[in-house]
Structure 1
Amino acid sequence: MSSDLHAASFGAAAEAYERGRPPYPPEAVTWAVPSRARRVLDLGAGTGKLTRALLAAGFDVDAVEPSAPMRDQLAVSAAGAAIFEGTGESVPLPDASVDAIVCAQAWHWVDPARAVPEMARVLRPGGTLSLIWNIRDHTEPWVAALDDVLHRHTRQEIDTAPPVGTPFSEPERAEFSWRHPLNRAELLDMVASRSYVILLPETDRQALFDSVLTVLDQHNLGDSFEMPYVTRCTRAQLP
């Protein structure tokens, strides 16, 4: 299936996305956005997982999201942000209008050849572009078993240390390890919000959920537990 189809699928599971996806650790937000910044663009804002953290840090936030159902969730969860329909290739903001751009869990859906010039257009001179991904920590045995189940249907290889390119500086990298508390229902919501799971036939989706619960039982996990994550960050600066 095309990446466009997968990218467009998230609106069908906006509520599950909000319930099941993890937030971002504060230290990653601090690293990604310079303290001198005032206005920040949250690109591919989804339901506002990162938007809320940016607002809590005191930034003025423009949140750009292509999916209408996601924007509906965003309007409720991050009402302090200015919300726009748009994409990484077409941002509905003026030239040199933001001090920093953060794209969390979404850069792999954009066309960098078109998105990088658009980021440079929207940023003020000296502005920062940061890319963030939450990655499950596969060094924990039950997480490795969970991913084996999830990857029976697809194995999406995401470059979490991508190049950025001209006119940006050479990128810097950082990683932050942390743990996210959740319960079984929230884990199933996380699984249900994956693009390839949204597109599965219902019988296959239910079989996948059953397999996920079997992993939890096999590893003696109760109703509440913690998901270990590594948050991988890239940042580059505009001259």
Structure 2
Amino acid sequence: MDPHSDTLSAARSFGAAASVYGAARPGYPTEAVGWLVGDSRRVLDLGAGTGRLTEALVALDLDVVAVDPVEEMLEELELRVPGVPRILGTAEDLPIEDAAFDAVVVGQAWHWFMPERAVPEIARVLRPGGVLGLAWNARDTASADWLREAGELMHERHDASASVDSVVGPGRPFGAVESHRVEWTMRMSRARFLDLVRSRSHWLTSPPAEQGAVVAAIEELLAAHPDLVGAEDLEVPYVTHCFRAVLR
């Protein structure tokens, strides 16, 4: 069995929850995105999903094309970022001409790729000296006890963003990997936090009984934790982990 087909199947589990994913997931700080792309102008957002990273790229007045293997995600992206060209495709087989982009950026998706096939394809569509930029948003569970408990209930150990160092490193023909991190806080309602739970791949691929149990446990935590009693909204601390490498 092709392991890539299993990965694609898992990635496509997001399709049924595209609108929830788009509404619940956080965006990316301007500082982080600017660091990823440097002075690039034409950028490919690979694994673009519902367009959270695309939004930040467009806000920087960049020329952006979005690629994702899930049609429902790209449809949600069109609603969120109208007018951005969308291409249905995978990192391992990009339907794009050679040397077309100054930068390829990947938000929250590198761990879905097969690097031995994706890296040559990314290098092919980059111009000489082009940049590959990778970003993950991770909830900063170390800074809030309630968030650490929520992470355990959400099976945080399954989240690639919790161990980004283990999945980063494109290798040749890219040079050394640089890293950067941006700490920030997102204010959200309790309902949005529950939607965030429902947008995660582990929850989406779990049996209905387990899904219900996880949501119920999170609801109980949000209602009872002493740090949250009386709070109208939640202050959710994040760290955006950024990595970039230049095509040699």
TM norm structure 1: 0.94
Q: Does 1:219 align with 2:219?
A: no
- Assess, with a 3 A threshold, how the Cα gap between structure 1 residues 157 and 85 changes in structure 2: closer, same or farther: closer
| 1:139-163 C-alpha deviation (Å, 9 max, x unpaired) | 12111100111118x7345541311
User: SS in structure 2 opposite 1:108?
Assistant: helix
Question: Which stretch has the larger CA shift, 20-29 or 223-232?
Answer: 223-232
Match of 2:195 among 166, 189, 198: 189
Match of 2:84 among 81, 84, 98: 81
**Aligned 8 A contact 1:55 1:80 in 2:** no
User: SS in structure 2 opposite 1:134?
Assistant: strand
User: SS in structure 1 opposite 2:82?
Assistant: coil
Separation in 1 of the partners of 2:33 and 2:17?
25
Aligned to 1:106: 109
Aligned to 1:27: 31
- C-alpha displacement at 1:94, in angstroms? 0.6
1:107-186 mapped onto 2 (5 Å cutoff): 107-139=110-142, 140-151=144-155, 155-158=158-161, 159-161=163-165, 162-186=168-192
Separation in 2 of the partners of 1:156 and 1:48?
20
Q: What is the count of residue pairs matched by the alignment?
A: 237
Aligned to 1:8: 12
User: SS in structure 2 opposite 1:233?
Assistant: strand
- What are structure 1's unaligned runs of at least 5 residues? none
Q: Does 1:91 align with 2:94?
A: yes
**Aligned 8 A contact 1:10 1:195 in 2:** yes
- C-alpha displacement at 1:92, in angstroms? 1.5
RMSD value over aligned CA atoms?
1.6
- C-alpha displacement at 1:91, in angstroms? 1.4
**Aligned 8 A contact 1:26 1:53 in 2:** yes
Separation in 1 of the partners of 2:158 and 2:41?
38
Aligned to 1:18: 22
Q: Does 1:43 align with 2:46?
A: yes
User: SS in structure 2 opposite 1:93?
Assistant: coil
Match of 1:233 among 227, 242, 246: 242
| 1:179-234 C-alpha deviation (Å, 9 max, x unpaired) | 11111111111111111211222232122111111121232423411111111011
Q: Report the AA paired with residue 226 of structure 1.
A: E
Separation in 2 of the partners of 1:44 and 1:157?
15
- C-alpha displacement at 1:173, in angstroms? 0.5
Separation in 2 of the partners of 1:181 and 1:90?
38
Aligned to 1:208: 214
Separation in 2 of the partners of 1:80 and 1:157?
31
Q: Report the AA paired with residue 139 of structure 2.
A: R
**Aligned 8 A contact 1:65 1:71 in 2:** yes
Q: Report the AA paired with residue 105 of structure 1.
A: Q
Separation in 2 of the partners of 1:138 and 1:7?
25
- C-alpha displacement at 1:135, in angstroms? 0.6
User: SS in structure 2 opposite 1:160?
Assistant: helix
